[in-house]
Structure 1
Amino acid sequence: MDTHSFSLHPQQTDGDESRAQATGAAGAQPLDSVADHSAAAVELTDLTKSFGANTAVDGLTLTIPRGKVTSLLGPNGAGKTTTIEMCEGFLRPDSGTLRVLGLDPLENSTQLRSRIGIMLQGGGAYPGIRVGELVELTASYSAHPLDVPWLIDLVGLSGLEKTTYKSLSGGQQQRLSLACALVGRPELVFLDEPTAGLDAQARHLVWELVEALRADGVAVVLTTHHLDEAEALSDQVFIIQKGCLVASGSPAELQRTARERSAPHVRVVIDRAAAQRDSSISEVVNPAVLAQRASQHGLTLTAEHIRTEDDGAKGADTFLVATQPTAAAFASLASACADLHAPLIELSAATPSLEDIFLDLTGKDA
């Protein structure tokens, strides 16, 4: 399915007005009388939430703009989910102020229902409901929903319209949750771990949809444990630790700050498979061995100066060497790899990834 034609811009029909009246709650205040359409997508000021003695969110202040992709990152227990659930109107803050599209998500929940899309981790749908029924039900809350059959096909669930939720695989349930988040043409979408459990093809589809949403002016709030995903998609990133904001900025801004405050590194990537095939090699390439060989070529190193990095490259080993990226350092490391019969794939000055920054700030795995 071509996601380039994907658009959430409403195309009003003659029946839209009557549908809007039918789906609106009786006695609800007209939306335009309470909404501030110039407001940021989300504004949090000194937001706090505790559960007993545990403070999940501790004086959090941040602003999420419209029409951008914002990633909220942090280790498990950092307060991400609690923050998102307060934004979605599922939890009441203990203190502080919170506005979503200019509205209070608790006091104006009816008005916000048709303006935001929510993709929860784990779905949360009734087990016996069918795919088509769930998307149609969600569409009924909006005056201008997307075409349901088209959307079901877009997310790869065509032919499963009559399949019950409990009969779907985990990845199919994720696709269905995504469809429900988008069907109402929202101005703001919360995507909680949207690619969890998805194969590579489905993950690529989600990335394309997120980019299409941004192009359509929709604000996307993304929580993910895939830091490469956040780095590729985000206009801005907020990193939360123990309920507090510890860093914010675009991926490029965070990388620039990390470079300025951290020691320089050289990235060495070798062809592990080729090295293992070479019968003349007698040593496994690891930080200690690489440091020893580099020292023999004039670059004084110990194993503590080198750490391995999992960059997802199959058949390759990546080492980050704490040294200035000079021509002499490159020559010493290249000679060391040649001694070890380890063909070089890459030898370059290392730019910290979002994962490097995340681990440096939180000290934990994503």
Structure 2
Amino acid sequence: MSLGRRSVYSNGRQQFASFSMDVVIAGIDGMYWPTVYAPAVQESDDAELVGYTDLGVAPDAVEANLGMTPSEFGAEFDVPDVGDLSAAIDQAEGIITCTRNTRMPDVASRALEENVHAFAAKPIGVDVDDLRTIQDSLSPSTVFSAGRSAHGYPPVRTLFSEIGPETTGDVHSLRAMHQHFRCREWTSGTWYTDPGEGNGCNFLGWYPLHFAVEVLGPITDVWGHAQRMPAWDSDEGREEWDTPDHFKATIRHENGQLSTLEAYCDMGDWGVGGIEAEVVGTDGVVRYQAPGDEVLVHTDDGIERLPFDGEQRRAEENSYDIDQWIAACRGDGDAVIDAEMALHVAAAGCAWNEAANAPDNHAEVELLP
């Protein structure tokens, strides 16, 4: 399998190498992500979306999660159904998998084994043994990544750029939060209500976990909690829903530092914003509080306000990780989250979920990078 079409063209004075990669969406029964990553690929100058596969999932099951049937998805993005996963791998140089959490590791590993690049929607998987199937399929000739990353939020990238000896000094702690809409409003029949597919520790905790690893390095231990908002018990027609919506964790990094993380899934349309973070160092603090359009740097010299364009922020959120993955496949730099980090963050989410159900609320993290 070739890893992207390369050709040489000239402007009369100089030759240039062009690159284009055929991409297939492998699995469209995930909520939200297929309709985000399909246009992200289509907007790239270096990739072409050549089709999708529903992986044999029934149309009504796809619709229960995605809000449209496979044929409607194909019509929306003007792409064909290429058949099963084997057919998709035969036609693709890169696949993006957006199916249920317990199935994505197999999809990604099968592609990687056939020398096809792979990108998985977070949280990749919810079982460490499944994650190891991806680890065992990695090779220097393919690029595996996952997202959206914490970097997908431009204020986070601004925040990262301000961490250093002239601002924070030596970082010794951080806190990070991600919030989402009310998961109790998810439609009946979605696989997101299946405890076997993980919970917010995995698919919401992904963002603060990735942020923490980026700043303070690998995580070795998680003390985690998860609970369901008591008011939900009075909701009519939601008796089948029995999953937590509030998640908290204290994590220990490999370097001995501690961080605190939170994730919420009952915020509705309150305008809270998707992510907040604060990095504390020996000489200063850098923080972002959503939904503002500035990052604050607090030092002995006062408060510095670093604005960014809110509209540009929203436009970039969903394309940033895909653009960087495609560039890495092209051989131009690295993916935002490389394979090693992606699998570690996913494993940390598994540990968070394990800790939340353990008598002592503690779990060790596997798959350390």
- TM-score clears 0.5: no
Q: What TM-score, normalized by structure 1, do the two folds share?
A: 0.26
| Higher CA-based Rg | 1
TM-score, scaled relative to structure 2? 0.26
Which structure dedicates a bigger proportion of its chain to strand?
A: 2
